[in-house]
Chain A
């Protein structure tokens, strides 16, 4: 793969949140390392899955890439240009090409705006076409996402969760972006509706040649849509691989644990398999464990794990990439 194929490349991205307290003269009361030195890239046209438990920094990553919050350090290259070094004008232009779909379809649409207003807002902001053609564009978008164009004057509360998510998708599509960051787009929906939205997104990807960063905590959903998957734990990426490889032969014990939590829709197989149950909770990101962040919960942990931090290394010998950050990568639990 050449570099030209990398649509987005994130390098050594860090996002720390300072906890402050006190009145007027605030003093720091610790740092939450929400995203701590992660690197990955997304190829043009692929769907890159980002998986992890809640609070591991997935959503923060997407917010930082869009510069909705400023990064602490690191780089994010979009088509080779560093997003964090862009001036306001360049950033504004970049926003036409990277869009986001949110998790909660109830919170992501302003309750005081009609569907037409919501979907035409991006066109208005970027001064695309006049009012009349905007309306027809909005209607077209509604049709594209499987909604009735006649509903242009309705309010978000008149729609179901799945329909609202379609509105959110239409808004993201309005500027014909190249890359869409999907922040758990289906986790707030019923399973049957999840499938519809995923299929819609799949179809749109083909139709508009889109690239997705697909954030989720549900491995089965990610498996369904992603070409490559990265697993995050406490602000770090612990494993990156092609989706098939990751599901067939996970290397990191955390990935193994996650996979074993995915139910198999076959009672016989479900009965027979050995489940790996990770003990304890995710430690606080304010005071993460030393060495490998996973070691307090890891059944394979040895002395070295608490002392030094394993690097993300390639373990695939056949030329593909299968990165894992573990001293005992691939060792069965």
Chain B
């Protein structure tokens, strides 16, 4: 072999860069593994950090998560505790956001309300992603009849108004936080299935998938090792954005009285409770409303930023 591409030359620069990494063989390989899962994400993170709006979104989301987790320590009062004589007080030094009809501290209720919203956002979207991934994978990878059937069912779900569907499911299942997860989760799968199907279709005929098949890799292995890692970015983006939608739907359901039941503090419920007192106690409405708006904005900004971060070509 008279090879011009001198391997030794390549050797020189690499030994400088990677000399420290390859301590032992096993360790070397292990580190490579870890790397495999993060390289794209590291790149995306670098780009995300440069996007100010996305970082604002991320800050909001992190702030909310902290708020929800440490609610008992952050909230100044018990969110359910009624103080009769303090009914409908405006914002003040004692009650920063004021109190509601029953004399409950609105700030504390808004803080506790973040728990429900985040739970719904994360769990319901998690259910959607799960269903969507499985059905999308079947649809995209195997095609044929299963594809046609699954996609037509998805079309039906698309045609159905989100809120109306949620109301219908909640009526059937009955009220309760668990059923909210299920209702919103069930309704959201179609978009995930479609997105995932799309990326599978574009990836499954790539040569590296063919190479894996030529090696005798099973369908399961091809989907999990080759297709998933290469098509996960759009799912992450869309899931982040969808958390905002799920939070709005939950708020709407609670607002309509079929979601979270009192006295559990939920932003949508607080809005509906404020309706009768809009003129005399606007703070009852303003703060939970703002909370919903900022939360959704946070997730949408983050999702938007993630999309640009994962696909820098699209932005230009």
Contact = CB atoms under 8 A, between A and B. Distances in A.
A193 B5 CA distance: 8
Contacts of B3: 146, 196, 199-200
Contacts of A150: 11, 14-15, 18, 22
B40 interface: yes
Contacts of B148: 24
Given A92-B216, A112-B230, A171-B211, A135 B5 contact: no
B40 A112 contact: yes
B215 to A, nearest CB: 5
A148 interface: yes
A146 B5 contact: yes
A68 B210 contact: yes
A91 B152 CA distance: 35
Given A99-B214, A107-B207, A110-B208, A162 B5 contact: yes
Contact of B5 (A92, A108, A121, A196): A196
B256 interface: no
A109 B22 CA distance: 23
Interface string B222-258: 0001100110000000000000000000000000000
A108 B212 CA distance: 10
B226 A110 contact: yes
Contacts of A199: 1-3
A297 to B, nearest CB: 31
A152 B7 CA distance: 14
Contacts of B212: 121
A112 B36 contact: yes
B4 interface: yes
A195 B35 CA distance: 33
A113 B14 contact: no
Interface in A78-92: 91-92
Given A150-B11, A150-B15, A196-B5, A112 B39 contact: yes
Given A112-B230, A135-B26, A192-B4, A102 B32 contact: no
A135 B29 contact: yes
A63 interface: yes
Nearest to A139: B25
Contact of B29 (A99, A116, A193): A116
A147 B11 CA distance: 9
B37 to A, nearest CB: 8
Nearest to A117: B36
Contact of B28 (A135, A148, A155): A135
A306 interface: no
A162 B15 CA distance: 21
A241 B40 CA distance: 49
> By CB atoms of chain A within 10 A, which of B5, B10, B40 has the most?
B5
A110 B216 contact: no
B293 interface: no
Contacts of A175: 215
Contacts of B15: 150
A125 interface: yes
B31 interface: yes
A132 B55 CA distance: 42
B36 A114 contact: yes
A202 B14 CA distance: 27
Contacts of A125: 215-217, 221
A314 interface: no
Contacts of A111: 40, 230
Nearest to B149: A24
A132 B25 CA distance: 7
Nearest to A152: B32
Interface in A45-102: 63, 66, 68, 91-92, 95-96, 98-100, 102
A107 B204 CA distance: 11
Interface string B32-60: 11011001100000000000000000000
A163 interface: yes
Contacts of A113: 36, 225, 229
Contacts of A96: 216
Contact of A100 (B33, B35, B214, B217): B214
A147 B7 contact: yes
Interface string A103-147: 110011111111011000110011000011001100000000011
Given A148-B14, A150-B14, A68 B216 contact: no
Nearest to B232: A112
Given A117-B36, A148-B11, A153 B1 contact: no
B69 interface: no
Contacts of A131: 26, 29
Contact of A110 (B10, B35, B229): B229
A291 B207 CA distance: 35
Nearest to B216: A95
Given A110-B230, A117-B33, A196-B3, A63 B21 contact: no
Interface of A: 24, 63, 66, 68, 91-92, 95-96, 98-100, 102-104, 107-114, 116-117, 121-122, 125-126, 131-132, 135-136, 146-148, 150-153, 155, 162-163, 168, 171, 175, 192-193, 195-196, 199-200, 202-203
10 closest A-B pairs by beta carbon, nearest first, are A153-B32, A108-B207, A95-B216, A203-B1, A112-B229, A107-B207, A110-B208, A102-B207, A114-B32, A122-B215
26 contacts: A24-B148, A63-B210, A95-B215, A98-B214, A99-B215, A100-B211, A102-B210, A108-B208, A110-B230, A111-B230, A112-B229, A113-B225, A113-B229, A114-B33, A126-B215, A132-B26, A146-B1, A146-B7, A148-B10, A150-B22, A151-B14, A153-B18, A153-B32, A171-B211, A171-B215, A193-B5
Interface of B: 1-5, 7, 10-11, 14-15, 18, 21-22, 25-26, 28-29, 31-33, 35-36, 39-40, 148, 152, 206-208, 210-217, 221, 225-226, 229-230
